[in-house]
Amino acid sequence: MTQDLLFEIGTEEIPSSYVTSALKDLEAQACRLFEEQRITFSGVRTFGTPRRLTLHVERLEQSQGDLVREVVGPARAAAFDPDGRPTKAALGFARAQGVPVENLRVKTLDRGEYVVAAIVERGARLEEMLPTLLPRLITSLSFPKSMRWGQGTFRFVRPIRWLIALYGGRVIPFEIDGITSGNKTCGHRFLSRGQIRVRSFQDYIEKLEERYVIVNQHRRRQLVTKLAEEAAATVGGKPVFDDELVEMVTCLVEYPTVVCGRFEREYLTLPRDVIMTPMRKHQRYFPVTDDAGKLLPYFVAISNMKAKDMDLIRAGNERVLRARLKDAAFFYKEDRRVQLRERVPQLKGITFQERLGTMFEKTGRLAELTAYLAEQIAPHLAHDAGRAAQLCKADLVTMMVKEFPSLQGVMGREYAQLSGEPAVVAQAIEEHYLPRFAGDRLPESLVGALVGLADRLDTICGCFGIGLVPTGSEDPYALRRLGQGVVQILLNVGIDLPLSQPIRKSLELFGDRLTLPRERVAQEVMGFLAARLQAILMERGVPGDLVEAALSVDAERVSDAGKRAEALAAFKREADFTELAVAFKRVIRILPKGFSKSVDPRRFVSSAERALHGEATTLRAETERLVQAGDYVRALQLIAAIRPIVDMFFEEVLVMAEDRDLQENRLAILKEVADLFGGIANFSKVMAS
């Protein structure tokens, strides 16, 4: 028989950015915990608001599943006599294990045949286990930051104020940090009074909604977007949504209500991002545009309060935004008094990293590294790329970016345009920060990509050079994200410059600031970026063994490695793949490491030798052309034609002949076959399907 479990952790307001990840963690940890304890269930759902994390487990079994373990006893020969009757050894073993001797069975192990006894451990009742399991579930949750309160030592994201634990409608009693579980919850902090007794999950949902709490975050999200669209429509516009802001607003409120406010039209003369950033990043408002996407002097705010006079809430939101926009207008006016290029020396006052110098020094390194990259990849862009690198950090000292840090790069672009810089330079200043996070857009211009690569490589190489390497739990300089950006840019733009070259150049530019040997650092950085490349390709759906097969040939040319890995994945879907992989593995397994002899046709003694050598020679020129053109799928399809000839060779020819010259000549033929794959992948890494 099964019952549902309702578990709620009631807290002080949880930061909105923590709620979604906390609910995912709660679901994952609950599934893990129940599965480890052999407790079956049909489904797990999590719900949450700023003041509660809720778990609903459907049809949870009333007891653990039984555990059957095998105990190995004496050898069969010692346990039974020649007539099959149990000996004293078998009788004693059965008695010791508490099982009838007739229940013993014989099992073949690596060391021979032995008698085993199956011991059944009956599962415990769930109501006896939950008082221990639920506190473990609470302590298993992790957050970016946690706190302790009062005189206690227990840590959680925010102070816990109440707990609901109901299994089949009955309270599961336990205590954590002085809070005792029960069947009472709390409604909206301001719109509801007193505690609410609940009997079941459905009762919980309905009673909370009566007390102005919509627990289901998915329903709350739909309501947020619906209310925003309706409010914007009243002024002839539509709200500007983005997933991050909608998610943030959803996790800020328990009972969404809406107001549509306005601001002075004169502020529309400010750059679009200057208007939208205070709304979205600071006030969590939705900007409003017309059908053409032009900003209107309105905004939509989602409130957690339902007031008799919503005009008071509207006026308060307008007052706060008006102050923000007034400040932004002042900053914009003052910043424009100074040309962007004149701000570069002010970067001497900003520390990049204590041991790696100032942002001014970093800018100097960026200019040199960007020039180096441009010379290797696109010499005609060297001037613009160098100019963008010199100016890309200058907006950090502007009043606007100091007040609104998320506008770095954006304001650099604006001020560069106002200072008369070329459009390509202004665009690159903004783009060099892209991608800023997973799923973000990538630089559209090659100049922006070059500056972005130089910026990230400088930070990664500098940090590795002084021992600031990411660990499992710490990455204060976000080097993994920067490494991910390097790989994404290279894959997107198609730059095939070997990474070791700009890495070594970057390390040289630090002079004597680095504390570790450059060659060692270069290898570590290369390995770090190869790991990021491997992760990205696997996220794109390329199987891990195929990624390893491609990268083991060459991981330095990131774009080319990506093409080879994806070509392998595409070719694997064809019928010839598995047999080709088996044939190639057979070839390389027999080749001695470092073998380099050439074929001597005069030593052929069979038609199979002539056929394989001839086919390999014929294919070499065509496959080299296809590999050079990056058409790896076609190259693999062409190489696949050699498999039947390889099979025939192994059937008719004894490779490891006693005659040493004959043996080496046959190995040389196989080396020709192996070399056909050499520029694409190492098939020894490919797992059999």
DSSP codes of every residue in 233-275? HTTT-EE---HHHHHHHHTT-SS-EEEEEE--GGGGGS-HHHH
What does residue 116 show for φ and ψ, rounded to 5 degrees? -130, 150
- Angle in degrees, CA 84, 89, 91, rounded to 5: 75
> Are both 28 and 165 inside the same structural domain?
yes
Confidence of residue 562 (pLDDT cuts 50, 70, 90): very high
- Give the alpha-carbon dihedral of 538, 544, 548, 554, to 10 degrees: -20
- Residue 205 located in a structural domain: yes
On whether both 372 and 283 belong to a single domain, the answer is no
The domain in which residue 28 lies consists of: 2-63+125-210
Does 369 lie in the same domain as 238? no
Q: What is the pLDDT of residue 352?
A: 96
| C-alpha to C-alpha distance for 40 and 46, rounded to whole angstroms | 17
* Structure token digits, residue 416: 């560069």
> Does residue 153 share a domain with residue 51?
yes
**5 — phi, psi (to 5°)?**
-115, 130
- Predicted confidence at residue 632, as pLDDT, reads 92
What pLDDT was estimated at residue 640?
A: 85
Q: In terms of domains, do 52 and 185 share one?
A: yes
Do 247 and 103 share a structural domain? no
Q: What is the pLDDT of residue 82?
A: 87
- Max avg pLDDT among 145-154, 222-231, 463-472: 222-231
Q: Calculate mean pLDDT across residues 250-279.
A: 96
Look at residue 479 and tell me if it is in a domain: yes
Summarize pLDDT for 517-543 with one digit per residue, the tens. Answer: 999 999 999 999 999 999 999 999 999
Mean predicted lDDT score pLDDT of the chain: 93
Residue 399 lies in a domain: yes
Residue 567 amino acid letter: A
Q: Say if residue 409's pLDDT is above 70.
A: yes
Amino acid 439: pLDDT? 85
Q: Are 404 and 535 part of one and the same domain?
A: yes
Which residue do the tokens 């679009």 mark?
Answer: 272
CATH of the domain at 397: 1.10.3210
Instruction: Classify residue 22: in a domain, yes or no.
Output: yes
Final residue of a structural domain among 523, 539, 555: 539
Residue 105: inside a domain? yes
Which strand (E) or helix (H) includes residue 673?
A: helix 660-677
The pLDDT of residue 573 is: 85
Q: Return the closest-CA partner of residue 310 out of 259, 374, 252, 241.
A: 259
Q: Which residue has the higher pLDDT, 297 or 85?
A: 297
The model's pTM: 0.81
- Please give the tally of structural domains in the chain: 5
Instruction: Please classify residue 654 by burial: count the beta carbons closer than 10 Å to its beta carbon, then call 0-12 exposed, 13-18 middle and 19+ buried.
Output: exposed
Spell out the residues 6+ positions from residue 336 whose beta carbon is closer than 8 angstroms to its own: 415, 418
What is the spatial distance between Cα 170 and Cα 182, in angstroms, rounded to a whole number? 9
Is 329 found in the same domain as 459?
no
DSSP line for 123-138:
PPBHHHHHHHHHHHHH
pLDDT of residue 87: 92
d(CA 436, CA 440): 6
CB proximity list for 600: less than 8 A, separation 6 or greater: 665, 668
Is pLDDT at 689 greater than 60 in this prediction?
Answer: no
Instruction: Taking residues 224-232, report their average pLDDT.
Output: 97
For 540-553, how does the pLDDT look when each residue is reduced to its tens digit (9 = 90+)? 999 999 999 999 98
**CATH number for position 647:** 1.10.730
Residue 547 lies in a domain: no
Instruction: Give the end-to-end CA distance of the chain in Å, rounded to a whole number.
Output: 41
Q: Kindly state whether residues 393 and 501 are assigned to the same domain.
A: yes
Does residue 173 lie in a domain region? yes
- What is the gyration radius of the CA atoms in the chain, in angstroms? 34
The answer to whether residue 6 scores a pLDDT higher than 70 is yes
Domain boundary among 153, 181, 210: 210
As a whole number, mean pLDDT of residues 478-486 equals: 96
Q: How many residues does the chain have?
A: 689
Let me know whether 314 and 225 are in one domain. yes
> Do 285 and 356 belong together in one domain?
no
Task: Tell me, rounded to whole angstroms, the distance of Cα 618 from its chain centroid.
Answer: 45
Please give the pLDDT value at position 83: 84
Cα–Cα distances in angstroms (integers) from residue 312 to residues 305, 307, 317, 447, 491, in the given order = 11, 8, 9, 50, 52
Structural domain includes residue 555: no
pLDDT value for 686: 81
Average pLDDT over residues 562-575: 89
- Average the pLDDT over each of 53-67, 107-121, 611-625 and give the range with the smallest value: 107-121
Determine the average pLDDT of the residues in 460-483: 92
Other C-beta atoms lying within 10 Å of the C-beta of residue 649: 25
- The DSSP bridge pattern shows strands 195-197 and 357-358 to be unpaired
Point out the domain boundary residue: 80, 96, 121: 121
pLDDT at 461: 98
- Cα–Cα distances (Å) from 689 to 187, 323, 566, 580, in that order, read 55, 64, 17, 12
Structure confidence at residue 382 (pLDDT): 96
Is pLDDT of 688 > 70?
Answer: no
Assess whether 231 and 139 both reside in one domain.
no
